[in-house]
Amino acid sequence: MTESPRAKPGARSEFDDFLRKARLKKTRTRELIFNEIFSRSTIHPDAAAVHKRLRSKGHGVSLATVYRTLKLMVRSGLVSPLDLGEGHSHYEPGTNRPGHGHFICLVCGRVCEFENKELRALLDRVGEAEGFELKKHSLQVFGTCRECRKKKKE
């Protein structure tokens, strides 16, 4: 069981903690899937992409196990599902990232994250006004990215 090369400091031990608390086993397969999500936080893969990537690296992991493990990681609070408007889930590392959202380019499909402190404060304020206790949120902004706007003008 090797350490992830680019894992966030702390994230790995969170996974370990979760596994220990839930009396779940630490397996090679789970580590591989975990690393696939955490090593490149800008990718936002779906289950099929994780599966394909692992296969192409020579790891014989089944799609069923990818789904099982992703579900596990979502329940553990380490990973969040992400709706890019494609009708199925993508995944990204982390949960409870206040003020965090995504730009999704409708032309090229690129996804770009952003983080904004005002947004967090704003949502807290709106929630409080409604008597609503905010746990997490999901914000997607669809439009055209800088590059695609440039191309369109040419």
Instruction: Please report, as ranges, the residues that interact with a copy of itself according to CB under 8 A.
Output: 81, 83, 85, 87, 89, 101, 103, 105-106, 112, 114, 116, 118-119, 122-123, 126-127, 130-146, 149
Judge contact between 80 and 139, C-beta under 8 A: no
Nearest residue (CB) to DNA, 46 versus 92: 46
To a copy of itself, the closest distance from the beta carbon of 91 in angstroms equals 14
Q: How far apart are CA 124 and CA 126, in angstroms?
A: 6
Plot region of 87 (φ>0 → left; ψ -120 to 50 → alpha; else → beta): left
Question: What does each C-alpha distance from 41 to 16, 68, 80, 87, 94 come to in angstroms?
Answer: 19, 20, 12, 21, 9
Binding of residue 49 to DNA (CB under 7 A): no
Binding of residue 25 to DNA (CB under 7 A): yes
To a copy of itself, the closest distance from the beta carbon of 131 in angstroms equals 3
Site residues (CB under 7 A) for DNA?
Answer: 23-30, 46-48, 60-65, 67-69, 71, 87-89
